[in-house]
Amino acid sequence: MIISFEGIDGSGKSTQAKLLLEKLQGEGRSVLYVREPGGTDVSERIRNLLLDPDVELDPFTEMLLFSAARSELVRTRIRDVQASGGIVICDRFFDSTVAYQGGGRQLADPLWLNDFQRSVTGGIVPDRTYLVRVELATARERLEMRFGEEEAEDRMEKAGGAFFERVIATYDRLADAEPDRFLVLDGARSINDLQRQITDDMKRLLAR
């Protein structure tokens, strides 16, 4: 079973992904936790390139690198865990590329990008995607708490508010288009509230 967490930077998705990991491990389940981009030696090297502020990347190249990191991760790790009946928790998966590169950067038609991602993963689609939805101002406040005001401003301002509004809108469209896969969570709620909602939903999924 593949579970992915999505949302803008500072939405609180990694907090929830890690809490779910602890909960499932506590139940004695075998779980692979991966964060994107990354999760394999090659993918971590691609991550360093993608997140290096000194490297200027053409937007299409950037999209292909995010996709290459994902292809490597799926084909060398995720597929095997899925085949043996384990659980994979992905802190971001291909919806991030559709929302950030398609919606945010507007580099390609999000519909085409969405189809392309099915080829990148060899047809693997998460069984459940938790979309942690927050307003931009909330995400910014949270990043300020985590990184300090200057770095948070840097991260958000480099891309700009309009960029993140487009990312949010694209995530919303993806969730509307696949209501059976997405569970949209109100990220303004407390960490405990959100965790409870996710745990309840996971119980239902695992009982299916």
Q: What are the strands of the beta sheet with 182-186, ordered from one edge? A: 31-35, 87-91, 2-6, 128-133, 182-186
H-helix segments, 98-190: 110-120, 136-147, 149-159, 161-177
CA atoms of 34 and 13, how far apart (whole Å): 13
- Residue (36 or 72) nearer to ligand TYD, CB: 36
Q: Which does 114 bind (CB under 5 to 8 A by kind): ligand ADP, ligand TYD, none?
A: none
List the one residue from 3, 4, 24, 37 that touches ligand TYD (CB under 6 A). 37
List the one residue from 1, 31, 33, 36 that touches ligand TYD (CB under 6 A). 36
CA atoms of 202 and 204, how far apart (whole Å): 5
Q: Which does 145 bind (CB under 5 to 8 A by kind): ligand TYD, ligand ADP, none?
A: ligand ADP
List the one residue from 14, 76, 82, 197 that touches ligand ADP (CB under 6 A). 14
97 binds ligand TYD (CB under 6 A): yes
Q: Which does 190 bind (CB under 5 to 8 A by kind): ligand ADP, ligand TYD, none?
A: ligand ADP
Amino acid at 158: K
- Min dist CB 75 to ligand ADP, Å, is 25
CA atoms of 32 and 30, how far apart (whole Å): 7
CA atoms of 196 and 110, how far apart (whole Å): 32
What sign for the dihedral angle of Cα 161, 112, 68, 92? positive
Q: Which does 96 bind (CB under 5 to 8 A by kind): ligand TYD, ligand ADP, none?
A: ligand TYD
Instruction: State which of positions 128-167 bind ligand ADP (CB under 6 A).
Output: 142, 145-146
Q: Which residue is nearest to ligand TYD (CB)?
A: 100
Residue 142: closest CA among 26, 2, 14, 28: 14
Chain residues that interact with ligand ADP, rule: CB under 6 A: 7, 9-15, 142, 145-146, 187, 190-191, 194
- Please report, as ranges, the residues that interact with ligand TYD according to CB under 6 A: 9, 14, 36-37, 66, 92, 96-97, 100-101
